[in-house]
Amino acid sequence: MESSYGRELGRAELLDDRLKRSSLLKIGELLEVTIKRFNPDVDLAPSFVRYQVPYAKHMRILDVLNYLEEVQGQDIAYRWFCGVKKCGTCAVRVNGKEVLACWESAERTMLIEPLRHAPLIRDLAIDREDYEAHVLALKPWLQRKGAYPGFPERISHVDMKQASKALDCISCMACYSACPVLDFPGVSNFIGPAPLVQLAQVALDPRDGMDRAELIAKVGNIHDCVSCYKCEEVCPVNIPIVSSIIEPLKRRANADAGARSRHAIMFLKLISQLGRINPARLVLSTQGVRGLGQIKRALKLIALGKINLRQLIYPRAIKGQREVSKIVSKNWNKT
């Protein structure tokens, strides 16, 4: 049975289709545009200013901004250069989602805001300096094992397959703005998806000879990625950021005893021993003594039956645990 009705509920009802949405707009119809405006040097607080823009055929968000600037003479700060999804400078948040202004169609009502997680210069223009410093901290340049063999280098499509996805990145910072972990800089030092994509351009290149495990784990703090796929959802060039960037980089870190995630290793151990995860055991073995600090919660969970004490001490393995253990030892030999 191929039906995916349950998954697709909402797609048609909410016009999740650019062509359909645009076909509803009539030429000359007034679009309601709200722009978050803020000049930190002058204003005390941001204000949401409303404008009306007549719809023109094939109008993009960038065309709306240009209309406000050129026809209405509004002094809105925004950034763009190429207008064709190449330069990566025009990303903004429209109705809560990061998009390239040059690539997304205008809509009937739009709230346009600057990207998040970067200092604001004015209105829609953000300061890219912090982000660029993060990228540089990951040393995203090739460090060859041997000498440069001269041009042309022998390198095949297969060799470059892993890095090729990352090479599509236009550095627009859409994923950097969408990442929920970056909302809490005091809690996590996760460097964010975009700098890791920049790193992957060289780290996944077969010519690179640098051991980047420490960098990925300690500077990138990659183990704080929550795997929510928000980055993939907004990427205008469709890079599978979680599966083609974050996970291969995590594998690099996890192959190195000094850079690996303790959680991942304990996880693997439990699967090998029991075939499944016993959450209380996993938390205890991952956090060690730190886990004992949560004794109050643990007691409550035991009382509710969420932690089974007997299972914690004498865990029961699944039927067929030996098969699982065999698969693990056959495929994982890093100590």
Partner 1 sequence: MKFAFYPGCSAQSTCKELSLATRQVAQKLGVDLFELESAACTGSRALRALDEKLFLTLNARTLAAAEQVANQLLTVCNTCTLNFLDCQKRLEEDPEMKDAINSELREFNLHYSGKLRVTHFLWMLLEDVGEERLKAAVVRKLSGLKLAAFYGCHIIRPPEHFAFFDSRNARSIERINTILGSESVDYTGRTECCGFHTAAEGEKIAIKLAGRHVKSAQDSGAKAIVTPCPLCHTVLDTLQPEMETDLKTTLKMPILHLPQLVGLALGIHPRDLGMDRHVVPTTDIAPVGAPDDSSGRESFLPCA
Q: How far apart are the first and last CA of the chain?
A: 44
User: Quick check: 324 and 318 in contact, CB under 8 A?
Assistant: yes
Report d(CA 8, CA 16) in Å as an integer: 10
- Do the strands 120-122 and 91-94 form a parallel or antiparallel pair, or are they unpaired? unpaired
Structural tokens at position 200: 């992957």
**Least distance in angstroms from the C-beta of 47 to partner 1:** 22
Residues constituting the chain = 335
When the beta carbons of 201 and 254 are compared against partner 1, the nearer one is: 254
Which CB atom, from 171 or from 278, has the smaller least distance to partner 1? 278
- Residue 37's closest CA among 97, 77, 67, 68? 77
| Smallest distance, partner 1 to C-beta of residue 221, A | 10
Angstrom distance (rounded) from CA 305 to CA 299? 10
Q: Write down the least CB distance from residue 113 to partner 1, Å.
A: 15
Q: Kindly tell me which of 93 and 128 has the beta carbon lying closer to partner 1.
A: 93
> Of 115 and 266, which has the nearer Cβ to partner 1?
266
Integer Cα distance of 196 and 9 in angstroms: 34
* Interatomic CA distance for residues 124 and 91, integer angstroms: 9
Q: Considering the complex, state which of residue 18 and residue 144 has its C-beta at the smaller distance from partner 1.
A: 18
